[in-house]
Amino acid sequence: MAILTDADKQILPLALRQNNGFHIACKWYLREMEPLWYQYAFHQATQGNVTMLAGIAAGKSFGVAASYMIDCMTIPYFRALNTAPTAKQAEIPFEMVMAWIDENERVNRFIDDIALRPYPLIKFINNSEWVFRTAGKGARFIRGLEYDRANYDEAGLDFDGEVVKILRGRLRGVRVDGSQRMARLDVITSPSDAPWLRERFDRGDRDNPDADLSTHLSIRVPTWANTRLAPEQIELMKLEYTDEMIDVEMGANFPDYGVSMFPKSHVAACSDQSLYDAIELALRPETGRPKAGYLVNEHPRYGVIKYEIPPVPDGLYIMAGDPGTDGPPRRNAGVVMVAEISRRPSNVVYFDWVNGMGSYTPFLQSYKYAIQRYRPVLKGLDTTGTQKAINELAFENMGIEVDGINFQRDKNAMLNSLSLAVTNHELCWLPAKGIMRQMFSYSRETDDKKLPQDIVMTLAELAFLMRYTPEQDNSNVPASRGNLKDRRLRSSGRRR
């Protein structure tokens, strides 16, 4: 047990909720960081269900990290969990805590051990533990254990809310010393269309006449509530988004995109958490070495921006791309996708939301890499209008051969193909924030509102190509697509 200093003996009792000294403990132990009003309110909440809708850079990660850290330091045998749909998101508070522990004698004296594999785990001298791990499909990675307190970060990506139900069942029991566990469930996220999230927020919303404030507390924190951000920094963030996205991503308001072309429940069904779990288990196995060929890159604001699952020997692959020179989350960001289509549902095994940095070269490099890695039988790329020059560049400078798609003529057919694939659950992808947001918000009526739609168009290309693969009957291909059909068949013949 750590030897308490005179300062510890005074500050640790103050840090307990009943003594309202959370801000004092933060300032002393966490490198002079004093919580903002909503971070203080988040920690002090006595309700068993706390929901926070937060804009980007609103300081939610600090609020979570500081609150859970102080609980672990002050309550013996406390068990805490930070989870999220993805491992990167689940580990953001861990990275922040490590900065507080490193070369900070006021804190590291309370740390017994820190493990990194297969997932981060902090053990405290007072026998408290803090786990950072992705939930997995159906909360497969967090079943079987009991916790005092759990935080579900970016919970809005979980459309059906199944993980929340399972988490609630994990918050129970007594600690080793016989004291009752806290049984508090925190949900922190940017707003989404998930029905359960809106219902949960309403239960703790003081402005809702039907709220139950004895069991629920809800807090809305827009980006501009973070007074540590300079006004010019906030304005630069706004430049990345449309007005609708500013309202959601920065204002922390629930989205109101109207009627989407793609039913939200079906989009959620096609956003397959098990694809992410496969990558997570490959990269972080319980035993043995990580498997080669898997990759996932996540942006702290935009979620998963790239992932890849290695090809299988008997796989049949198609690919599509939407060129762009900008970067996520803006409209003109390039997108490259590959789908394995030998079985249904077909899975998107390669996704790259490309940061072009003002050039088409990063997009073309990603496109060429996907061709070499997956050897697709069909390679879709828009070859009309302004994209015609990209097609020529791909041929001349990069040595890429593509199957041209006429967006001007076939756009409606592609969108209809995607609509059928989504409603029939024939095409699945990892639950990446960018994919889900664009699919939720897209409609033909809003097509001209400059909403980002590059991911939707790339998925539409894939769904369109799925209908005319060499493995299927191509006798019904319209005559206007004859050249594309012939080229596909020749390509398949060369490969075999």
pLDDT digits (tens, 9 = 90+) for 167-191: 999 999 999 999 999 999 999 999 9
The alpha carbon of residue 1 and the mean position of all alpha carbons in its chain are separated, in whole angstroms, by 39
Is the CB of residue 460 less than 8 Å from the CB of residue 414? yes
Query: Has residue 211 got a pLDDT over 80?
Result: yes
Alpha-carbon distances of 132 from 231, 284, 302, rounded to whole Å: 33, 13, 20
Average pLDDT for residues 112-123, to the nearest whole number? 94
Query: Has residue 2 got a pLDDT over 70?
Result: no
Q: Per-residue confidence at 386, pLDDT binned at 50, 70, 90?
A: low
* Domain 264-495 in the same topology as domain 6-250: no
pLDDT digits (tens, 9 = 90+) for 349-359: 999 999 999 98
Per-residue pLDDT at 97: 94
Total-model pTM: 0.82
Q: Where are the domains of the chain?
A: 6-250, 264-495
Q: Which of 20-34, 225-239, 251-265 has the lowest mean pLDDT?
A: 251-265
Q: Is the dihedral of CA 96, 28, 18, 181 positive or negative?
A: positive
The structure tokens listed for 328 are 């996520």
Number of Cβ within a 10 Å radius of residue 58: 26
Q: Beta strand pairing status for 149-153 and 184-189? A: parallel
Q: Per-residue confidence at 388, pLDDT binned at 50, 70, 90?
A: low
Percent of all residues in the chain with a pLDDT value above 70, rounded to a whole number: 89
The alpha carbon of residue 217 and the mean position of all alpha carbons in its chain are separated, in whole angstroms, by 24
- The CATH code belonging to domain 264-495 is 3.30.420.240
Closest CA to 465 of 275, 337, 313: 337
Per-residue pLDDT at 474: 40
pLDDT digits (tens, 9 = 90+) for 71-99: 999 999 999 999 999 999 999 999 999 99
Alpha-carbon distances of 66 from 73, 153, 232, 437, rounded to whole Å: 11, 15, 27, 30
- Does 443 or 152 have the greater pLDDT score? 152
Contacting residues for 47 by C-beta, under 8 A, at least 6 apart: 184, 204, 213, 214, 215, 216, 217
- The CATH code belonging to domain 6-250 is 3.40.50.300
Which helix (H) or strand (E) is 72 found in, with range? helix 60-74
Query: Has residue 496 got a pLDDT over 60?
Result: no
Query: Has residue 473 got a pLDDT over 80?
Result: no
Counting beta carbons within 10 angstroms of the beta carbon of residue 419, is it exposed (0 to 12), middle (13 to 18) or buried (19 or more)? middle
Closest CA to 312 of 363, 272, 347: 347
Query: Has residue 234 got a pLDDT over 50?
Result: yes
Per-residue pLDDT at 111: 96
Per-residue pLDDT at 485: 42
The structure tokens listed for 334 are 């390039």
pLDDT digits (tens, 9 = 90+) for 442-458: 887 655 556 788 999 99
The structure tokens listed for 337 are 């996708």
Q: Per-residue confidence at 480, pLDDT binned at 50, 70, 90?
A: very low
Alpha-carbon distances of 366 from 150, 336, 351, rounded to whole Å: 38, 7, 10
Average pLDDT for residues 453-464, to the nearest whole number? 94
Query: Has residue 381 got a pLDDT over 90?
Result: no
Per-residue pLDDT at 387: 64
For the chain, give the mean pLDDT: 88
Query: Has residue 209 got a pLDDT over 90?
Result: yes
Query: Has residue 389 got a pLDDT over 90?
Result: no
pLDDT digits (tens, 9 = 90+) for 276-314: 999 999 999 988 899 999 999 999 888 999 999 999 999
Per-residue pLDDT at 477: 38
